[in-house]
Amino acid sequence: MRIDIITIFPEMFEGPFNHSIIQRAKDKKLAEIHLHQLRDYSTDKHNKVDDYAFSGGAGMVMMIEPIVACIESLQKERDYDEIIYTSPDGIMLDQPVANSMSLLENVIILCGHYKGIDERIREHFITKEISIGNYVLSGGELAAAVIVDSLVRLIPGVLGNEVSALSDSFQNNMVAPPVYTKPRNFRGLEVPEILLSGNEKLIEEWKYEQSLKRTKERRHDSI
């Protein structure tokens, strides 16, 4: 999968994209992530990418020319399955959305800022708008990083053990069961006996029951 991110803050991605699972996906050549500085596509001598809104009102609006120039220069090189805009009024990112997007080959993610982007970009160039939650971030970069992380870990071969993505919370509409590791006893706090029993069938049943219980208790919205 190739992901092209259009942003005015490419440095914000250095941390999240250079560690852990995403770094591993890049090393294994299963994911390519390219960052594009939007200001490089401005024709203004100060590299301006925003301007006042027609009709006034507080806040600047990101201009159509540099954004379209960047999108079109990418489209000259390859076809894109989706051109995504990160926005609080987009569809909510959840596991089914991440699952389906992890199958795509080429994706552009445009990170918004200020009061948003000129509406004509949304109407004519963006193919999908994604929100990561009902709150407003200062910009789309953190949302883009969350989206990329949720997709890349699902690409077949990225996680060492294929089963681990399938057993994530929400893959079956339920949250994951509790997990334990050594020591078996910490200050009298014991690991549930069943997990030490070696009986795979009973352990699987226990995990399923725990998932169901947790989902009912904590996430009645998702079942």
Q: Which residues bind ligand ADE (CB under 6 A)?
A: 86-88, 112, 131-133, 135-137, 140, 143
Rounded least distance, CB 129 to ligand ADE, Å: 8
The DSSP code sequence of 26-40 is HHTTS-EEEEEEGGG
Nearer of residues 129 and 206 to ligand ADE, judged by Cβ: 129
Q: How far is the CB of 137 from ligand ADE (least distance, A)?
A: 4
Provide the minimum distance between the beta carbon of 9 and ligand ADE in the complex, in angstroms, as a whole number: 13
180: which 2 tokens? 């334990």
Whichever of 66 and 116 has its CB closer to ligand ADE, that residue is 116
Q: Where are the alpha helices (DSSP H) in the chain?
A: 14-17, 20-27, 64-77, 95-101, 119-124, 141-152, 162-166, 200-218
Whole-number Å distance between alpha carbons of 164 and 182 = 20
For residue 218, give the 3-state DSSP assignment: helix
CB nearer ligand ADE, residue 36 or residue 113: 113
Query: 127 to each of 81, 91, 115, 167, how far by Cα in Å?
Result: 9, 12, 20, 30
Q: By C-beta, is 66 or 88 nearer to ligand ADE?
A: 88
Nearer to ligand ADE, 4 or 158 (CB): 4
Min dist. Cβ of residue 84 to ligand ADE (A): 10
State the virtual CA torsion across 35, 21, 83, 86 in degrees, nearest 10.
-90
> Least separation, in Å, of the C-beta of 45 and ligand ADE?
29
Q: Are strands 2-7 and 106-111 parallel, antiparallel or unpaired?
A: parallel
Angle, alpha carbons 218-219-221 (nearest 5°) = 145
